[in-house]
């Protein structure tokens, strides 16, 4: 997903919006990447901590394949 930063005038918010949309689609790998980009932009400490938390959460979700309904089979 390509984010047009000039439209938003805030690169943190542009990446955060993209990450939220990716999470809503269940695309946790992309969301993790976008949260990482948000964390590397100039932002306040609250936004930095939130972006790092969401990146970690999305990385875990991607590893566990939460968006894949067939990832775990019933025993």
70 within a domain of the structure (yes/no): no
Buried b (16+ CB within 10 A) or exposed e, 41-69: bebeeebbebbeebbeebbebbeeeeeee
pLDDT tens per residue across span 41-54: 989 999 999 999 99
23 within a domain of the structure (yes/no): yes
Q: What pLDDT score does 64 carry?
A: 85
73 within a domain of the structure (yes/no): no
Looking at residues 66-75, what average pLDDT do you find? 60
pLDDT tens per residue across span 2-36: 655 555 567 999 999 999 999 999 999 999 999 99
71 within a domain of the structure (yes/no): no
Structural domains counted in the chain: 1
45 within a domain of the structure (yes/no): yes
34 within a domain of the structure (yes/no): yes
Q: What pLDDT score does 60 carry?
A: 94
pTM of the model: 0.77
Range of the domain at 46: 5-63
27 within a domain of the structure (yes/no): yes
Looking at residues 56-71, what average pLDDT do you find? 82
Closest to 15 measured CA to CA, from 55, 69, 45? 55
75 within a domain of the structure (yes/no): no
């Amino acid at each position: 997903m390509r984010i047009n930063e000039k439209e938003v005038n805030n690169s943190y918010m542009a990446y955060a919006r993209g990450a939220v949309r990716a999470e809503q689609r269940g695309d946790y790998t992309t969301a993790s990447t976008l949260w990482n980009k948000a964390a590397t932009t100039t932002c306040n400490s609250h936004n930095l901590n939130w972006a790092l938390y969401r990146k970690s959460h999305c990385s875990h979700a991607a590893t566990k394949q939460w968006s894949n309904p067939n990832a775990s089979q019933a025993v």
